[in-house]
Structure 1
Amino acid sequence: MAVIGAGYWGPNLVRNFQSSSAFRLRWLCDLDVERARRVLGGYSTIQATANLTEVLADESVQAVAIATPAATHLDVAMAALRAGKHVLVEKPLAASHAEGRQLVTEAEQRGLTLMCDHTYCYTPAVLRIRELVHGGELGDVHFLDSVRINLGLVQRDIDVLWDLAPHDLSILDFVLPPGVRPVSVAAHGADGIGAGRACVAYLTLHLNTGAIAHIHVNWLSPVKVRTTIVGGSKRTLVWDDLNPSQRLSLYDRGVDVAGPDELADDQRRDMLISYRSGDMIAPALGEREALRTMVEEYARAIHSGTPALTDGRAGLRVLSILEAASRSLASGGTMIDLDEEDL
């Protein structure tokens, strides 16, 4: 195993791969080799280098994890795939959908694992949400509403959409049941501080079932909020990521509608609406670092030869929505249809 990149995220990968029994970390590669050595500290069995070619030429290295800037993902990941290595890439998969497609195609042609590190998907809360939605506990999904706001770092090269929304879009892709997918997206944004890019944005996604998803991302909020609500025909789930004592709440409360499924044009019938007010339960969650679970999923995908839960195509689907949302933002919030082939 080799980790490429010793910046913000690289040290977290080093720690988790080093503690995994499924991998033996051999290299940490970074253009600043002294920074790589500082990250390694007491990990004396791992070699630090600034030479990516040297790492990829090492036949003992079977897999790499890439934690470099998004603009470099195509070149670094493509070089690793062409050297016959399995590849894990920090989100986003690539800087554009076209570049991401190149990586997916290359990996599939070579029979190699390509995985995107959508870390939030491997938190205990999101894994449980996926289990509940896929298991039918919520019934049919009617809506998803997500808020990810805080007084955050205004990025120099990307807007708030590309900075924060990938988390929520990857979670949406991860938890939706099979056959349910977004078909269109609209985005509205504002730059109230004159940063030259959207610092506040709202995404609205229409799903092929008629359901709707809404995502609010914001760099300018004085309070931090990380809340997702998934409303279903049977139950509604609330995820408050900042409440460690009760991250998930499952409500047996909602609106029931009784009446004919179809009404003739010349008929009008009153539909009977009733309000259900049942119990609220808080499912127990284990505490486990998401990256540890992600590393285990990477190992499982490599050994089994089957796609990871957040494989390259999952990363590609997120990129497809992000690019469509950017086009919508630039056109004043126009609803943009998503390419079915990409989803």
Structure 2
Amino acid sequence: MPPAINIGIIGCGEMGEIHARCLKEIGTATIRGLCDTDEARARKLLAYSPDAYVCSNPERLLRDDSIDAVYVCTHNDSHAQLGIAAARAGKHVMMEKPVAISLRECEDLQNAVEHSGIHFMTAFKLRFYPSVQKVREFMPSPLMCIAQMTDERWPDSFWANDPVRGGGNVISQGCHAADLMCYLLESEPVKVYAAGGNYHHPGLDITDALTATITFASGVTGSLAVGDIGLTPYVSKLSFQVMDGTRSAHLYDRLKQVSMWDGKHEEHYTDSEELGFLLENREFLEVVRRKAQPSATLRHGIRATVLLLRAIESMKTGQPQSVQF
């Protein structure tokens, strides 16, 4: 039997609890430590691992030699700092998106991880949906992707809309859409031209809606729309279409459904539930066990953040921006 994997969770809110629930369901790892600035919130997660200890300072988890890996599920502005500290402590990392909210943070985090020897996984759960894998098998070389991730209006008081703690919807949530577009097109973004702005959060210094045209290194193109600008009733928050000149595929209903057209016949696939969280956790535990590279790396996390930051810069300047990272 392989040795047990000990996990520490930093940030015990909604995302921390989702990961704790997945770890309990998988059953091949032990949550040893739970950390949150609000210890009462951390104690609620003892339901998933009664023998874990609770603390309010991440340093306790990072100094614990028995912990192999940490999950970073805190507010966005602390991600890079905690990722750097975890890398220096020799802990493997599963980090919720976005991995950073500024170019400087991306660079500092990348340097720390590269010099540490740890394995770092970005929690891009959308890649792991069975429907997405179906599309990748059906169409390995798309020529175009039309991607939408539009949500209901987020309250001004929601922490992810705070310009410092969260960065707003486009930064906080849009990285999921940016990554999945790159993943489906299997190419690197090289140029972006965008428009958008702050349409309905006038008291906040954020971008709440953005549309972007993206050129990729292989010559393919993508159209991206993100924001808390309104939830569409049929396709849901998530809609991704890909085409290759003959065939097409449409992922919708929070990616639980996909329709694929080969030019003559339509094939439909449905997942009964959203499996992304569970499947990404299974992979991360294998990454830690085997000391292997994850499929969703830190580089992919940085790529998504840089793409959105460059898109916002294009929106502000009215000029296309090079995507370099």
| CA contact 1:149–1:216 (8 Å) conserved in 2 | yes
Bigger CA radius of gyration: 1
Query: Residue type matched to 1:293 in 2?
Result: L
**How many pairs were matched up?**
306
| CA contact 1:124–1:286 (8 Å) conserved in 2 | no
1:24 aligned counterpart, secondary structure: strand
Cross-structure match for 1:261: none
Deviations 1:225-273 (A, max 9, x none): 32111011331111112585xx1111123xxxxxxxxxxxxxxxxxxxx
Change (3 A) 1:336 1:123: same
Cross-structure match for 2:83: 77
Cross-structure match for 1:141: 142
The structural deviation recorded for 1:123 is 1.7
The ranges of structure 1 where at least 4 consecutive aligned residues each deviate by more than 4 angstroms after the TM superposition are 284-288
> Which whole-Å CA distance do the structure 2 matches of 1:237 and 1:200 have between them?
25
Change (3 A) 1:302 1:108: farther
Cross-structure match for 2:116: 110
Deviations 1:84-131 (A, max 9, x none): 111111101112233223223322322210111112122222232233
> Which whole-Å CA distance do the structure 1 matches of 2:162 and 2:47 have between them?
31
2:295 aligned counterpart, secondary structure: coil
> Which whole-Å CA distance do the structure 2 matches of 1:243 and 1:117 have between them?
16
Cross-structure match for 2:275: 289
2:26 aligned counterpart, secondary structure: coil
> Which whole-Å CA distance do the structure 2 matches of 1:124 and 1:292 have between them?
12
Identity of aligned residues (%): 22
Query: Residue type matched to 1:90 in 2?
Result: E
Cross-structure match for 2:127: 121
1:321 aligned counterpart, secondary structure: helix
| CA contact 1:30–1:36 (8 Å) conserved in 2 | yes
| CA contact 1:94–1:100 (8 Å) conserved in 2 | yes
Deviations 1:173-215 (A, max 9, x none): 22223xx222101111133333443332111101223321011
> Which whole-Å CA distance do the structure 2 matches of 1:87 and 1:316 have between them?
15
Change (3 A) 1:287 1:85: same
TM-score normalised by length of structure 2: 0.87
Structure 1 residues without counterparts, runs of 5 or longer: 135-139, 254-277
Change (3 A) 1:195 1:329: farther
Query: Residue type matched to 1:21 in 2?
Result: G
Deviations 1:144-186 (A, max 9, x none): 0012223231423223321332111111222223xx2221011
Cross-structure match for 2:293: 307
| CA contact 1:125–1:285 (8 Å) conserved in 2 | yes
The structural deviation recorded for 1:331 is 0.9
> Which whole-Å CA distance do the structure 1 matches of 2:198 and 2:105 have between them?
28
TM-score normalised by length of structure 1: 0.82
Change (3 A) 1:30 1:111: same
Match of 2:70 among 40, 64, 69: 64
Cross-structure match for 1:265: none
Equivalent residues in 2 for 1:4-15, closer than 5 Å: 4-15=10-21
Cross-structure match for 1:248: 258
Match of 2:305 among 319, 322, 326: 319
Match of 1:227 among 239, 245, 250: 239
Matched, 1:329 2:315: yes
Query: Residue type matched to 1:199 in 2?
Result: D
Matched, 1:161 2:170: yes
> Which whole-Å CA distance do the structure 2 matches of 1:279 and 1:203 have between them?
31
> Which whole-Å CA distance do the structure 2 matches of 1:300 and 1:232 have between them?
34
CA RMSD of aligned residues (A): 2.1
> Which whole-Å CA distance do the structure 2 matches of 1:293 and 1:42 have between them?
18
> Which whole-Å CA distance do the structure 1 matches of 2:78 and 2:151 have between them?
28
Matched, 1:189 2:189: no
> Which whole-Å CA distance do the structure 2 matches of 1:219 and 1:284 have between them?
26
| CA contact 1:124–1:287 (8 Å) conserved in 2 | no
Structure 2 residues without counterparts, runs of 5 or longer: 1-6, 156-160
Query: Residue type matched to 1:306 in 2?
Result: A
Cross-structure match for 2:158: none
Query: Residue type matched to 1:189 in 2?
Result: G
The structural deviation recorded for 1:2 is 0.5
Cross-structure match for 1:36: 42
1:220 aligned counterpart, secondary structure: coil
1:141 aligned counterpart, secondary structure: coil
Cross-structure match for 1:238: 250
